[in-house]
Amino acid sequence: MGQEGEEKVIPDEEEIRRVLNEALAELEESKNNLKAIDAIRVKYLGRKGLITSLFKQLGQVSPEKRPEVGRILNEARDSLEKAIELAVSKAKEALLVSRKTIDVTIPGRTPIIGGLHPVTQVTREIVRIFTQMGFEVVEGPEVELDYYNFEALNIPKDHPARDMQDTFYISEDVVLRTHTSPIQARVMEKRRPPIQIIAPGKTYRCDSDMTHTPMFHQVEGLMVGKNISFAHLKAVLTLFVHRMFGPHVGLRFRPSFFPFTEPSAEVDIQCVICGGSGCRVCSYTGWLEILGSGMVDPAVFEKVGYDPEEVTGFAFGMGIERIAMLKWSIDDLRLFFENDVRFLRQFA
């Protein structure tokens, strides 16, 4: 017969049907083989393909039969093209399914399970303890006005806390908040007593070493109402310490100074490392400072329109990272922010 596609055959309906049927039969036998299907396409529809050759011979058909033969030949070519397209689609689908086949007898891969960051875990635990005591969680802006960050909290313009080495100033009147206490002033401006809130969040100061980072987390607390006393403050913080570190941990209130509370006190707990016997971590004192607290200064009440003769209150604040360091005996604050999976995996 000579080389495929080169045989001179005058096309008629019978010849066209024969060639089409042969092509369809070969497609059926291709068994979803993409290479075999492509070979069939070239054999019949390529530049020298059998059907292509029939088109070249249309000029040999008599003029009266040529339109009908041309129509049949076009239909045959279209039918074969659609059949090839369908065969290719089925072959690709079969290949995809074969690659996705799951062997249920193969042992499965254990998925990697993540966990909450230790700072997040401690934050949630602190929030849970205080909300069980009836405190409400509130939030505020991290980019704060100088007024709320300092002046509303009885920190005058010449106070050392305003020194540039401590505070990130965005402008003369705008700062990155150095504590979450501004939220207390904002809440008191909008509400009347009684108030019982905690304000967890990020804070910022110009400091960085083993126990300080430029960004850290704090929780501030505030309770305002009639006849609120230092005894209420001691009761709330004692309950918090015992729930966070255990009922066996002792604590003490040590006189201190904060511009927005009077009287003020720092709260120390027995060293969680040595149990109070003295070690390097507690500088051999047996005690570790964990938070600051005190009765709200009357000047702060006056700033927000409260009558200090009618209401009293207490406030406290603690660093969440410091609580986490004591809870898990971690000696370098920077570990919380280095994203070392070996460190974080211990708390998953």
| pTM for this entry | 0.65
Average pLDDT over residues 227-256: 93
Percentage of the chain beyond pLDDT 90 is: 36
Q: Provide the 3-class DSSP secondary structure of residue 334.
A: helix
Residue in 238, 237, 200 with CA at minimum distance from that of residue 219:
200
Longest dimension (CA), the chain: 118
The more confidently predicted of residues 120 and 8 is: 120
Identity at 145, one-letter amino acid code: L
Could you tell me if 192 and 226 are in contact, meaning their C-beta atoms sit under 8 angstroms apart? no
Which of 72-76, 136-140, 222-226, 276-280 is least confident? 276-280
State the Cα–Cα distance between residues 24 and 12, nearest whole angstrom.
Answer: 18
pLDDT in tens, 139-195: 999 999 989 999 899 888 887 767 656 888 899 889 999 899 999 999 999 999 999
CA 300 to chain centre: 37
Residue in 266, 265, 318, 263 with CA at minimum distance from that of residue 296:
263
96 to each of 30, 32, 310, how far by Cα in Å?
Answer: 17, 12, 77
State the Cα–Cα distance between residues 185 and 200, nearest whole angstrom.
Answer: 15
The helix/strand count (H/E) of the chain reads as 11, 9
Which of 26-35, 111-120, 158-167, 269-278 is least confident? 158-167
The domain ranges of the chain are 13-100, 118-347
Residue 8: pLDDT band with limits 50, 70, 90: low
Tokens of 67: 């339109």
Could you tell me if 221 and 198 are in contact, meaning their C-beta atoms sit under 8 angstroms apart? yes
Residue 208 has pLDDT above 80, yes or no: no
Contacts of 65 (CB under 8 A, 6+ apart): 12
pLDDT in tens, 28-38: 888 778 888 88
State the Cα–Cα distance between residues 224 and 197, nearest whole angstrom.
Answer: 9
Give pLDDT, residue 230.
Answer: 95
- Give the class (CATH, top level) of 118-347: alpha beta
Tell me the β-bridge partners of 291: 267, 318
